[in-house]
Every structure is written in C-alpha cells, then in structure tokens.
Amino acid sequence: MSGSLYIVSAPSGAGKTSLVSKLLAADPLVKKSVSFTTRAPRPGEVDGQHYHFVSPEAFEHMRAGGELLESALVHGNHYGTSRKTVESVCATGSDVLLEIDWQGAAQIRKLKPEAVAIFVLPPSISALEERLRGRAQDSAEVIARRVAAARGEIAHVPEFEYVIINDDFDRAAQDLISIIRAERLRLPRQLARHTDLIDRISGS
C-alpha cells in the first residue's frame, strides 16, 4: 500500500519545525521530505538534514526539468520539494510529511488532492513576533517583514483540513501526532491495510 502525504504549514516563528521534529521522533512511520532552498543556512542547520541548500541556478534547472513537485518564493528565497523523493518514499508504504508554505501546499493539493493539510497558528501576532526575536537569527527589519507576511499567510487557513494553535507546545505536539494516527484509522486506509483480516473476521 502506498503511504499517505501530509502537509504542515505555518508562518515563520509559529513553531512548526519543532512540532514536526516531535512527531518524527514519536512516529517512525512518518518520513520528512527535505526541501531544496536557495537561501543560506542558518546557524546550526545541516545540509541534507534541514534543507538541501542549492544555488539559484541549480534550483531553476530542477524546476525547469520537472524535478520539483512544488516550488515557491518565500521571503526572497526559493523553496521546492523533490518529486522523486516523495513518490519513492510513498511507494515503500511510509507516510511522507512536507513542511512547506501555503503556496506549495496549494500546488500539492492540485496534483495530489488526497494529501492532508495541517496549518499551525501562533496564539497571537505578538507571540509570533516575540518568538522571532527570541531566535536571534534575523534583523529587526527582517522580523518586521516576516510578521507582516504572517498575516497574509494566516488568511489561507480555510484551505487546510486541520488547524493547530501552538499556545502550549506539548499539547500542540500531541494534537499533531493525533491527527496522523486518526487519519490512518479512516476506513479506506484500514481496508487497504487489513483487507484479509476484515474479510476473515466478517466471514466474507
């Protein structure tokens, strides 16, 4: 059986990366697709683990060659998802999680409408701004741009199936884990995974 595809989106600073890390640690059946980006690595980021860091020319070559399942321009940098990686992991039966923005999510949903989309919200704009300042990675000007952009990103919440409000990290992490587990229990997926068992115990 092919694995399921999950999308987690959020404005910068909402905590989606930490929540996704918690999910991956709790559920080995979920594999994260590592995106490609043209932006420079932040302190502590590892190429191939957090992102595949590539030049604008290399990124454009991938996009022109149809190698990307989705791509988006975010805060002046390009981001994209490898088509081959997603399809090959899903083919093994593992679930694939994409940590992408709303633009990429919209592209994925057109190609793969069965994908489950989850949006992570901060408890408030002021809390979002405080978290961005607390990361100490961006200038005041960059933070101001990110906060302004967040309002536009949040306007796309109605396009998603699930919304998690990250006001308490542990609770939000459990919400994310619960969504994945609940989706696996939907009838079509259970029938696909356990056809023989269901037929046997139902007497079919």
Q: What are 29-41's pLDDT values in tens digits? A: 999 999 999 999 9
Is residue 13's pLDDT more than 90? no
CB-based contact 162:44 (threshold 8 Å): no
Give the C-alpha separation, 44 to 97, whole Å.
22
Q: What is the pLDDT of residues 69-83, one digit of tens each?
A: 999 898 889 999 999
Surface-to-core class of residue 76, CB atoms within 10 Å of its CB (0-12 exposed, 13-18 middle, 19+ buried): exposed
The position carrying tokens 């952009």 is: 149
Chain mean pLDDT for the chain? 91
Question: Domains along the chain?
Answer: 5-33+94-202 (3.40.50.300)
Give the C-alpha separation, 70 to 43, whole Å.
26
The position carrying tokens 């999950």 is: 6
Is residue 53's pLDDT more than 80? yes
